[in-house]
Chain A
Amino acid sequence: MSNVSEALKIEDWRLTSAEDLKALQKQILSGRDPNRPEIVVCHGTGCLANGSEKVSDALRTALADAGIEAKVMPGIKTTGCQGFCSRGPLVLIRPGGLFYQRVKPKDATEIIEKTLLKGEPVKRLLYKDPASGDTILNEQDIPFYKLQERVVLHNIGKIDPTDIADTIAAGGYQALAKALAGMTAEQVVEHIEQSGLRGRGGAGFPTGRKWRSALKAIETKGRPVYVVVNGDEGDPGAFMDRTIMEGDPHAVLEGLILGAYALGAEKGYMYVRAEYPLAIKHLEVAMVQARELGLLGENILNSGFSFDVRINRGAGAFVCGESTALFTSIEGKPGNPRPKYVRSVEEGLWGRPTILNNVETWANIPLIIGKGPDWYKKLGVPHSTGTKVFSLVGKVNNVGLVEVPMGVPVSAIVEDIGGGVPGGQPFKAVQTGGPSGGCIPYSLKDTAVDFDSLTKAGSMMGSGAMIVMDEGDCVVDVGRYFLRFLEEESCGKCLPCRLGLSRMREILDNFSRGRGSEQDIEDLISLAQAVQDGALCALGSSAPNPVLTTLRYFKDEYLAHVNNQTCPAGVCKELITYTIDPGLCTGCTSCARQCPNNCISGRKKEPHTIDTDQCIRCGICRETCKFDAVRVS
């Protein structure tokens, strides 16, 4: 725990009522000077990978070296992911919100001396908007942040996730205290029903209805019942849930405790993939701290309600994010899905009624209980209420984590917040829903991002990965990529998924080599239909979606592969040739030196040529050339 908690002796507190919690919050806040400068360093996984831990260490050293008086001593706070991952490591100075990007440890002294002591910004670390060319001082003025509506993520980037005092100061656990003090379990379920919240894991099933069905199942089956967090986020390009678990673990925990209270569950599980070590660590710390304060465990806030949680680590199987496979995995068996003709709310974990919700869904619960369903319903659109967190990746300027109200158009996310495709061309398509989703072409850029509109367009909301593609992305190659991924990740229990996906991938492999015919495209569609209809679980039945949507919107590109043996995007290696435009080549020899197969020849200051027979089409020459002289055809 940080110094803040140690000074407060938070361990001495064991909260026994809602008033106690309010008193603690008041005490924490009264001990804090809102004008005290605070240096906030992003310790999300993305920024950590870029060296933000060294940045915060350097800032601490620089601060100590500067010898500032203790009275105005600025604090250094490390937080979860602030979202703008492509600009990491990020450093914010509060109050004010001065935003520094791509900060290196060597910048630390300058930040302390210039910004903290003299109040001047370090200009080279400021964000420059690529669209307008303006240099922007503060976080809240950057288009990437300005256009978002951070509701679920409201604490992330502000609080230290490993310090419960920070969470409590920000109003954490107030919803739980409110529910335990003055709401019946029935009222909690009613609130969730009225909010219109739909599951954030992908399918968008109404959460309130799920909880209601579980209550009904309990009437006949009795207890025990279980509440489970699905933190097995595995879609390529998705990191929403990881960020929430890392950056605001108490929100997930509070949501889960509220769910347990609504159902009368005594035990809950958090199933988190082992590849998320920081998320697991922060959740574990959060659980220990919550237990110490009497917010988790026996007799929570003296209400008579007891509930505890344990974390289960997923061992790296994508299919274990499927609800029934997740249950069998927690039970200690191989993670194979079972048919869901009897639903999980009736027969889930250990055959008992179970509520399984995604991390983001659980993180929404305290907001709904705390602020009320009417407040929540005002966010988003009628059938998809609230906000949704997306991880925006691929060919887009502002890679990172964004949260928007449901119902905004695709273009608002990709172009306004994401800053569009590097180079300024329109995007070609956006893949939503990961390997189970589909693509939205540029022509449908005004499609509203809500559960129903995306499904209508042939895609799905999915868990929230948004992969932006430009003209340099080949749809056949994208289809192959997702099929290869699912082929590896299929549990293999049912034939359509185990063998059908392999066959679909083989057909696409042929297309990428210019082999195949229009009949093969027809076969591919009929096989995709058979896999959709025949597969046992959602992994298999949704696996053909990327191929089917690209066939729907980009059939010409498939036909170009099979009929003309060309890859319009210039991706499929066997269908492209690299040549050098003699008019543009300056003979700088850079490409010839980089070529791994030594097949580029030419004299200095004279146009070079590529030996196409020897060329392995790796594309390094094209990346190397500063004069754009390497052509793909």
Chain B
Amino acid sequence: MIDFTINNQKVSAQPGWTVLETARYYGIDIPTLCYHESVKPSGACRLCMVELKEGDWSKLVASCIYPVQEGIDVHTETERVNNVRRWIFEMLLATCPASEEIREMAARYGVVSTQMPVHDPDQNCMVCGLCARVCEEVVGLSAIAVMDRGVHKKIGSPFLRPTDVCVACGCCVSVCPTGAMQSIFDTVRGKPAMEMTQLAV
């Protein structure tokens, strides 16, 4: 067992666990969006940032990918952590304003409005890529992927054309943290999901 502290509370973790897994085991709250236990963590949404203190020195790490180490001093609610968290919620409220899930989650952490400009009021995808990872790692297909880069990054099928690779299993829809996949889903096969499901049967 690996012993360390989270918010000054003594915790023990199995070797190979991450800080997030340990915190969840002990019921310590850390918000996440792109994390799902069925796939490898990617550290994209950065909501799970925690502060690692070592004397006067400290650094922020993504708890979903940070492997536990003996004696580390983890804090989940410091000023620096909260600053990152607040700004990420503001970014999320601006980039996927149509997502009910994001609004509720941000409100739980005290962020109800954003000073950032909203460019697309209908957008609800935050491009965390969880859907694509599930499709690749769990379903084994990669019918969808994250494409392009920077502010142009988006989710879709190859060349944004309907693809037969998709089997309409719906895994991506069920893991999507913002509800965006419901609308993207139909464009992947180019046919309504209902029709697809009947074909599969």
A contacts, CB < 8 Å to B: 317, 319, 334, 338-339, 341-342, 487-496, 498-500, 502-503, 506, 523, 526-527, 529-531, 533-536
A241 CB, nearest partner CB in chain B, Å: 23
A339 touches B62 (CB 8 A): yes
B80 touches A533 (CB 8 A): yes
B127 touches A492 (CB 8 A): yes
A495 touches B83 (CB 8 A): no
B contacts, CB < 8 Å to A: 42-46, 49, 60-62, 65-67, 80, 83-84, 86-88, 91-92, 94-95, 115-117, 126-127, 129, 146-153
Contact A339 to B43, CB < 8 A, known contacts A319-B149, A529-B83, A533-B80: yes
Inter-chain contacts of A499 with B (CB < 8 A):
91, 94-95, 116, 151
Known: A506-B117, A534-B84. 13 other contacts (CB 8 A): A339-B43, A341-B65, A341-B66, A342-B67, A493-B42, A495-B91, A496-B87, A499-B116, A499-B151, A500-B87, A500-B91, A530-B88, A534-B49
Q: What is the interface of chain B mostly: helix, strand, loop, or mixed?
A: mixed
Inter-chain contacts of B95 with A (CB < 8 A):
495, 499
**Which partner residue on chain A sits nearest B153 by CB separation?**
A492
Inter-chain contacts of A495 with B (CB < 8 A):
44-46, 88, 91-92, 95, 126
B30 CB, nearest partner CB in chain A, Å: 14
A493 touches B44 (CB 8 A): yes
B65 touches A339 (CB 8 A): yes
Number of inter-chain CB pairs below 8 Å: 100
Q: Kindly identify which residue among A319, A338, A526, A534 contacts B88, using a CB–CB cutoff of 8 Å.
A: A534
B96 CB, nearest partner CB in chain A, Å: 10
The docked-state distance in angstroms from the alpha carbon of A503 to that of B116 is 7
**Which partner residue on chain A sits nearest B127 by CB separation?**
A492
5 nearest A-B pairs in the assembled complex, by CB-CB distance: A492-B153, A530-B87, A534-B84, A499-B91, A533-B60
The docked-state distance in angstroms from the alpha carbon of A317 to that of B146 is 16
A533 touches B83 (CB 8 A): yes
Q: Kindly identify which residue among B43, B60, B62, B150 contacts A489, using a CB–CB cutoff of 8 Å.
A: B150
The docked-state distance in angstroms from the alpha carbon of A536 to that of B84 is 12
Can you spell out 17 A-B residue pairs with CB atoms less than 8 angstroms apart?
A317-B149, A341-B66, A490-B150, A490-B151, A492-B148, A492-B150, A493-B129, A495-B44, A498-B150, A498-B153, A499-B116, A506-B116, A523-B115, A530-B83, A533-B60, A536-B43, A536-B44
The docked-state distance in angstroms from the alpha carbon of A339 to that of B48 is 14
A95 CB, nearest partner CB in chain B, Å: 52
Inter-chain contacts of A500 with B (CB < 8 A):
87, 91
B149 touches A492 (CB 8 A): yes
B150 touches A530 (CB 8 A): no
B42 CB, nearest partner CB in chain A, Å: 8
B150 touches A487 (CB 8 A): yes
B160 CB, nearest partner CB in chain A, Å: 16
Inter-chain contacts of A319 with B (CB < 8 A):
149
Contact A496 to B46, CB < 8 A, known contacts A530-B83, A530-B87: yes
Inter-chain contacts of B126 with A (CB < 8 A):
495
Q: Kindly identify which residue among B87, B146, B151 contacts A526, using a CB–CB cutoff of 8 Å.
A: B87
B43 touches A527 (CB 8 A): no
A232 CB, nearest partner CB in chain B, Å: 15
The docked-state distance in angstroms from the alpha carbon of A495 to that of B48 is 12
Inter-chain contacts of B116 with A (CB < 8 A):
499, 503, 506
Inter-chain contacts of A493 with B (CB < 8 A):
42, 44, 129, 146, 153
